Amino acid sequence: MALKGQKTTSDFLEWEKMQSLVLKLERDGELKFALLISTGSYIGLRISDLLQLRWNQVLNQESFSIVEKKTKKIRRITINQELQIILNRLFTQLEAKEDDLMFVNRFGDKPFSIQYVNAKLKDIFTAYRIKGQYSSHFMRKTLGRRIWEMNKYSDQALLLLSQLFNHASVSTTKIYLGIRETEISNLYLSV
């Protein structure tokens, strides 16, 4: 686990594996982390913004706006129908109130800390035997890779992802998503 303020790298999780992990976590009673991983993977917010969400911002809403902590920019997020189903299901199971924080600590008074999230994710990925290097960034990267894949790996998708992630350039987005590494690996496989 990285120290506070230290940069970490993270892999992405293939979309089907993310969905499977969410269902396993839900089955095993890890409802808050099933919620965190599904919400983070569907909307792609940075963890600092994700941890500040309240149920009334997302529950039964088509979209919501947030001022991103890092960039101070307003971001409008449309909520996918599949995510809305998960949100409704977990809201009921967690017996939450609409004005509650979604990702609240065990005392019910503060959001999870980023350090706690990263430590817990490490434990989850170990327990479910998922290989790789994962931190809270994996959810944003999972969304990015899913969008890129669903758009047939197009440059247009990378341009839109660059805007979605508020990156300075498409090359930053490619580095962030590990695309260059994939392309180089594929060169060796194509010989």
Which stretches in the chain have pLDDT values below 70? 1-8, 183-184, 187, 191
The per-residue pLDDT for range 107-142, each reduced to its tens digit, is: 888 999 999 999 999 999 999 999 999 999 999 999
| pLDDT single digits (tens) 49-66 | 999 999 999 999 999 999
Phi-psi sector, 128: left (phi>0), alpha (psi -120 to 50), beta: alpha
Question: How far does the chain reach from its first CA to its final CA, in angstroms?
Answer: 38
The span from the CA of 142 to the CA of 99, in Å, is 28
How far apart CA 171 and CA 159 sit, in angstroms, is 9
> What pLDDT score does 187 carry?
64
Query: At 66, phi and psi to the nearest 5?
Result: -145, 145
Confidence (pTM): 0.89
Q: What is the pLDDT of residue 109?
A: 86
Q: What is the three-state SS of 70-131?
A: CCCCEEEEECCHHHHHHHHHHHHHHCCCCCCECCECCCCCCECCHHHHHHHHHHHHHHCCCC
User: What pLDDT is recorded for position 4?
Assistant: 54
**Could you tell me if 12 and 177 are in contact, meaning their C-beta atoms sit under 8 angstroms apart?**
yes
What single DSSP character describes residue 132?
S
Q: Which fold has domain 15-132?
A: hpI Integrase; Chain A (1.10.443)
- Sign of the dihedral through C-alpha 150, 155, 156, 160: positive
Domain range annotation of the chain:
15-132, 151-190
> How many residues are there in the chain?
191
Determine whether 13 is exposed, middle or buried from the number of CB atoms within 10 Å of its CB (0-12, 13-18, 19+).
buried
CA pair distance 158, 151, nearest whole angstrom: 9
